Structure formats: structure tokens, C-alpha cells
Structure 1
Amino acid sequence: MEIKVFASIKEKIGSDTIDLFVGDSITVGELKNHIFVDYPELDGEVFQVAKNESFVKDDEVVTSEDTVALIPPVSGG
């Protein structure tokens, strides 16, 4: 599953995508757990998960067919 990343997450991992090898489907909570195991440099990072351009909660199921992105908080003024 390819996951798009932005801003501070992109800077920390040095790439604009994360590739995770998961089954056909996974919950967002399980996805986060995999990310924190595979990318320990993201430990403590705060972000929301978007599925097909909509924010989703940890119990939402995502598949490799979905567009998934990690969106860190945005500030501005």
C-alpha cells in the first residue's frame, strides 16, 4: 500500500511516500501501528489519516485501492 505523506513527516523519512506491505485491507489504527513500527523516527508525530481525500477515524478500513495520506497539523495566519 502506498501512502502519501507531507510536511514534517516527509522531512523525517526523506520521501513523499511510505510503502507498507499489508493484506487486502487494514484498519486505520492498524495502519498507524505498522507505520510507527516501520518508521520509528515518526514516534510521537501527530497526523490525521485521509482516505480518498476525506479524514477517517481509526476504525475505518482502507485497502490498497484507496488513496491514503498522512496529514500533519497545519498552522498559519
Structure 2
Amino acid sequence: MANIKVITFGKLKEISGSNFELEAETTDELLHKIYQEFPSIKDLKLRVAVNQKIISEITILNNNDMVALMPPYSGG
């Protein structure tokens, strides 16, 4: 099982308090663990990035990967 560094932004950071680490093999498993730890995050829309690349499908994680959880954002 891989040790993953999780960083959060915006409202997600307010809920989680700070960056943290979890063990998971996939992004799906990681999100499941995060939702268990912080149930209010489950109701929020969020974007997931693995090693600075936004993903839209389940991704296999490797030891020391960095996963960023970001609230929706828009640009101008």
C-alpha cells in the first residue's frame, strides 16, 4: 500500500485542517478514506490532481505521490 501526501485548498482545507498523509492503492480508495475521515467533504464537488496533473478517472497511486484536492474554480 502506498503512502500518499494529500494537500487541500479552499473550503476543503478549512474542513481537513491541514495537509495529511494516508495509505491507498488508488484514488478511489483514497477518496473513500477521506470521506470516512471528513464526511462533509463528500457533499462537495472537487477536482483531484495526482502529482500536479488533474485526473478524471481512477488512478493507481505510488509511494510518495502527492494528491491535491481542490474545490471548483473558474478563471477569467
Q: By the TM > 0.5 criterion, same fold? A: yes
Distance 1:54 1:71 in 2: 12
One-letter identity of the residue aligned with 2:12: I
Contact 1:2 1:64 in 2 (8 A): no
Alignment RMSD, CA only?
1.7
Contact 2:8 2:70 in 1 (8 A): yes
Aligned residues: 73
Distance 1:65 1:19 in 2: 9
Runs ≥4 in structure 1, deviation > 3 angstroms?
Answer: none
User: Secondary structure of the residue that 1:29 maps to in structure 2?
Assistant: helix
Higher RCO structure, 1 or 2 (CA under 8 Å, sep 6+) = 2
Distance 2:38 2:63 in 1: 19
User: Structure 2 unaligned runs (5+)?
Assistant: none
> Structure 2 matches for 1:1-77, cutoff 5 A?
1-15=4-18, 17-20=19-22, 22=23, 26-77=25-76
TM-score normalized by structure 2?
A: 0.78
Could you give the per-residue CA deviations for residues 5-32 of structure 1, whole angstroms, max 9, x where no partner exists? 00010112222x1322x25xx1111111
Distance 1:45 1:64 in 2: 27
TM-score normalized by structure 1?
A: 0.78
